[in-house]
């Protein structure tokens, strides 16, 4: 058992929809960014999938972005095609169920992207009733939390769903269309994977909540028993060993200074603040979710959200 956090980009476009990349260019740019895996999610088409077949080094999970007037939904790795064209606010639960029946994962893309008239359909307006069928949601969709209120709205919506008992995995989606105009190259979703990364293991990490959403920094934690994000642990006194890793950020953009300043422990009852250190201890309630966040400065932007973890849960 040798678990490792792998930097990945879970939302990518190519010339097969409205991206500027060929599939080959997307792959080579992802490697230049030191990413280990990507999800290929062109708008309403899977025509790019076959062009990934020869790639061995970068792991590629194949998907599609359902792009409708009512929201954008990411669909990963279905056994067979599920028709998106008749998805409406009234039937979205049955469409989501159909994806799940085909073995696919369902993610909400950029739920609070500005909608009409700037980007019609980009805002999530579907009326989901069965949130238990939604696997993940993009919490960082713009790369710059302090500049974009949409990320904070997504975080708030996600917290409220967790508090209702839904286990939804948080992700970061660069919505990568072209190599330029990506101000923060080190932002990514880290996936916790046992051994070498594969597309199948990427899928499981998203499915089972083994993610950390990063705006450059990576904060990870574990209990004395080695439990972490996605796990269900005993309540009571808990000490989490904390680790903060800025190496991917420094490799990508050393000129931009990240300074961690505090750790927030979020749950249905609000936030508890801890200083940045090697561990935090607290009394965990039963049947609760806990997500860790790292806050600090990013260049001259103070008090910004640098990183948030997928939750662990208590029995
Ligand atoms: Zn989209
Ligand atoms: Zn997209």
- Segments making up each domain of the chain, as ranges: 3-314
pLDDT score at 116: 72
What separation in Å is there between the alpha carbon of 122 and the centre of ligand 1?
6
pLDDT score at 142: 66
What separation in Å is there between the alpha carbon of 102 and the centre of ligand 1?
22
pLDDT score at 147: 59
Number of helices (H), then strands (E), in the chain: 5, 18
What separation in Å is there between the alpha carbon of 18 and the centre of ligand 1?
11
71: left (phi over 0), alpha (psi -120 to 50) or beta: left
- In a 3-state reduction of DSSP, which class is residue 140? strand
What separation in Å is there between the alpha carbon of 259 and the centre of ligand 1?
31
Class of the CATH domain delimited by 3-314: alpha beta
What separation in Å is there between the alpha carbon of 5 and the centre of ligand 1?
26
What separation in Å is there between the alpha carbon of 222 and the centre of ligand 2?
33
pLDDT in single tens digits along all 315 residues of the chain: 699 999 999 999 999 999 999 999 999 999 999 999 999 999 999 999 999 999 999 999 999 999 999 999 999 999 999 999 999 999 999 999 999 999 999 999 999 988 777 777 899 999 999 999 999 999 998 656 555 788 999 999 999 999 999 999 999 999 999 876 555 788 999 999 999 999 999 999 999 999 999 988 999 999 999 999 999 999 999 999 999 999 999 998 888 899 999 999 999 999 999 999 999 999 999 999 999 999 999 888 889 899 999 999 999
Q: Which ligand is nearest to the CA of 110?
A: 1
Give phi and psi for 29, each to the nearest 5. Answer: -70, -40
What separation in Å is there between the alpha carbon of 2 and the centre of ligand 2?
33
> How would you label 276-307 residue by residue, b for 16+ Cβ within 10 Å and e otherwise?
beeebeeebeeebbbbbbbbbbbeeeeebbbb
Q: Which ligand is nearest to the CA of 13?
A: 2
pLDDT score at 117: 76
Q: Which ligand is nearest to the CA of 120?
A: 1
The Cα–Cα gap between 205 and 196 comes to 13
pLDDT score at 184: 77
To which residue do tokens 């800025």 refer?
A: 246
The Cα–Cα gap between 311 and 288 comes to 10
DSSP state of 34: T
The Cα–Cα gap between 62 and 72 comes to 16
What separation in Å is there between the alpha carbon of 70 and the centre of ligand 2?
14
To which residue do tokens 């640098």 refer?
A: 306
What separation in Å is there between the alpha carbon of 273 and the centre of ligand 1?
34
What separation in Å is there between the alpha carbon of 72 and the centre of ligand 1?
5
What separation in Å is there between the alpha carbon of 144 and the centre of ligand 1?
17
pLDDT score at 178: 87
What separation in Å is there between the alpha carbon of 276 and the centre of ligand 1?
35
pLDDT score at 65: 98
Q: What is the DSSP string of 257-313?
A: PEEEEEEEEEETTEEEEEESSSEEEEEEPSS-EEEEEEEEEETTEEEEEEEEEPPEE
Q: Which ligand is nearest to the CA of 18?
A: 2
What separation in Å is there between the alpha carbon of 287 and the centre of ligand 2?
35
Q: Which ligand is nearest to the CA of 176?
A: 2
Handedness of CA 25, 27, 28, 32 (dihedral sign): positive
Q: Which ligand is nearest to the CA of 11?
A: 2
The Cα–Cα gap between 299 and 257 comes to 5
Closest CA to 242 of 258, 214, 271, 263: 263
The Cα–Cα gap between 27 and 45 comes to 18
Question: Does this model's pTM top 0.75?
Answer: yes
Closest CA to 186 of 33, 289, 301: 33
The Cα–Cα gap between 23 and 17 comes to 11
Q: Which ligand is nearest to the CA of 14?
A: 2
The Cα–Cα gap between 39 and 8 comes to 8
Contacts of 160 (CB under 8 A, 6+ apart): none
pLDDT score at 179: 78
């Amino acid at each position: 058992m040798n678990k490792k956090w792998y930097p990945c980009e879970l939302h990518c476009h190519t010339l097969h929809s409205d991206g500027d990349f060929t599939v080959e260019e997307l792959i080579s740019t992802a490697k230049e960014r030191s990413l280990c895996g990507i999800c290929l999610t062109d708008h309403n088409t899977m025509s790019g999938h076959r062009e990934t077949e020869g790639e061995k080094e970068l792991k590629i999970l194949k998907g599609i972005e359902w792009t409708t007037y009512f929201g954008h939904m990411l669909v990963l790795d279905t056994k067979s095609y599920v028709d998106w064209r008749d998805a409406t606010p009234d039937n979205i639960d049955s469409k989501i169920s159909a994806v799940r029946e085909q073995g696919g994962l369902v993610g909400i893309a950029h739920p609070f992207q500005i909608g009409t008239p700037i980007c019609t359909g980009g805002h999530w307006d579907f009326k989901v009733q069965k949130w238990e069928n939604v696997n993940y949601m993009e919490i960082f969709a713009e790369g710059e939390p302090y500049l974009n209120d949409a990320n904070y709205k997504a975080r708030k919506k996600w917290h409220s769903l967790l508090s209702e008992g839904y286990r939804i995995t948080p992700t970061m989606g660069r919505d990568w269309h072209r190599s330029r105009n990506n101000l923060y190259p080190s932002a990514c979703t880290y996936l916790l994977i046992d051994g070498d990364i594969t597309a199948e293991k990427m899928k499981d990490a998203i499915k089972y909540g083994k993610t950390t959403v990063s705006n450059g920094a990576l904060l990870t934690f574990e209990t004395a028993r080695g439990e972490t994000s996605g796990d269900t642990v005993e309540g009571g006194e808990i000490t989490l060993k904390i680790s903060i890793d800025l190496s991917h950020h420094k490799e990508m953009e050393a000129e931009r200074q990240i300074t961690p300043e505090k750790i927030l422990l979020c749950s249905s009852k609000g936030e508890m603040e801890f200083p940045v250190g090697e561990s935090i201890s607290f009394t965990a309630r039963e049947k609760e979710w806990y997500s860790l966040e790292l806050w600090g400065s990013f260049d001259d932007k103070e008090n910004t959200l640098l990183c948030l973890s997928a939750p662990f849960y208590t029995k």
